[in-house]
Structure 1
Amino acid sequence: MDGLTKFAPRPTGVGEMFQLLRDGKPRTRAELAQITGQARSTIAVRVDVLLASGLLAPAGEATSTGGRPPATFVFNADARIVLAIDLGATHVRLAVTDLASTVLAEQQEPAAIADGPGPVLDRLADLALDLIAAAGRQVTDLAAVGVGLPSPVDHTTGRPVSPPIMPGWHNADVPGHLRRRLHAPVLVDNDVNIMALGERQTEYPEIDHLLFVKVATGIGAGVISDGALRRGAQGVGGDIGHIAVPHGPQVLCHCGNTGCLEAVASGGAIAAELTRAGVPAETGADVVALVRAGNTAAIRAVREAGRTIGSVLAGSVSLLNPSVIVVGGNLASAGEDILAGIREVVYQRSLPVATQHLRIVASRSKGRAGIYGASVMAAESVLSPAAIEALIP
Structure 2
Amino acid sequence: MDNGGPGELLHILRDGYPRTRADLAGITGLGRAAISSRLEPLLKLGLVVPVSDAASTGGRPSARLAFNPVARVVAAADVGATHATVALTDLSGRVLVEATERLEISCGPEAVLDWLTMTLTGHLKAMQRPGSDIIAVGIGLPGPVEHSTGKPTSPPIMPGWDGFDVPAYVQQTFNVPVLVDNDVNLMALGERATRWPDVDVDNMIFIKVATGIGSGVVSGGILQRGAAGVAGDVGHIAVSRAAGIQCRCGKTACLEAIAGAPAVAAQLRENGLEAITGNDVVSLVRSGDLAAIQAVRQAGRDIGEMLNMCVSFINPSLIVVGGSLAQSGEHLIAGIRETVYARSTPLATQHLNITQSETGPEAGVVGASILAVEYALAPHRVNDLATRLHAAGPEDTRGLQKMDRVAQTSQQLRDTVAEQLQDAFP
Q: TM-score, normalised by structure 1?
A: 0.95
1:221 is aligned to 215
Alignment of 1:209 with 2:194, yes or no, is no
Per-residue deviation at 1:17?
2.4
List per-residue Cα deviations over 1:52-82 (Å, max 9, x = no partner): 2221111122111110001111111111100
Aligned residues: 385
Unaligned runs of 5+ in 2: 388-426
- Partners of 1:176 and 1:151 in 2: how far apart? 19
List per-residue Cα deviations over 1:267-319 (Å, max 9, x = no partner): 01111122223223222111111111111111101000000000000110111
- Partners of 2:3 and 2:235 in 1: how far apart? 42
Q: Higher mean Cα deviation, 101-110 or 328-337?
A: 101-110
- Residue of structure 1 aligned with 2:72, choices 80, 94, 102: 80
- Partners of 1:163 and 1:366 in 2: how far apart? 24
Per-residue deviation at 1:91?
0.8
Q: Higher mean Cα deviation, 93-102 or 325-334?
A: 93-102
Partner SS for 2:360: coil
Letter in 2 for 1:123: W
- Residue of structure 2 aligned with 1:152, choices 144, 149, 152: 144
Alignment of 1:377 with 2:371, yes or no, is yes
1:116 is aligned to 108
Per-residue deviation at 1:208?
1.5
- Partners of 1:352 and 1:12 in 2: how far apart? 48
Letter in 2 for 1:197: L
Partner SS for 2:354: strand
Partner SS for 1:388: helix
- Partners of 2:336 and 2:67 in 1: how far apart? 42
- Residue of structure 2 aligned with 1:105, choices 94, 97, 104: 97
Letter in 2 for 1:179: Q
Partner SS for 2:173: helix
Alignment of 1:166 with 2:158, yes or no, is yes
User: For 1:351-370, what aligned pairs fall within 5 Å after superposition?
Assistant: 351-370=345-364
2:286 is aligned to 292
Alignment of 1:282 with 2:242, yes or no, is no
- Partners of 1:355 and 1:291 in 2: how far apart? 28
2:28 is aligned to 36
2:393 is aligned to none
2:248 is aligned to 254
- Partners of 1:354 and 1:326 in 2: how far apart? 16
Per-residue deviation at 1:10?
6.7
User: For 1:46-85, what aligned pairs fall within 5 Å after superposition?
Assistant: 46-85=38-77
Letter in 2 for 1:20: I
In the TM superposition, structure 1's runs of 4+ consecutive aligned residues that sit over 4 Å from their partners are none
- Partners of 1:371 and 1:247 in 2: how far apart? 34
Query: Once the two structures are aligned, what percentage of the paired residues are identical?
Result: 53
Contact 1:104 1:135 in 2 (8 A): no
Partner SS for 2:383: helix
Partner SS for 2:284: helix
Q: TM-score, normalised by structure 2?
A: 0.88
2:17 is aligned to 25
- Partners of 2:42 and 2:119 in 1: how far apart? 32
- Partners of 1:388 and 1:118 in 2: how far apart? 32
Letter in 2 for 1:87: V
Per-residue deviation at 1:247?
5.2
1:322 is aligned to 316
Contact 1:10 1:37 in 2 (8 A): no
Contact 1:80 1:141 in 2 (8 A): yes
List per-residue Cα deviations over 1:223-255 (Å, max 9, x = no partner): 111222111111111111111113533211122
2:400 is aligned to none
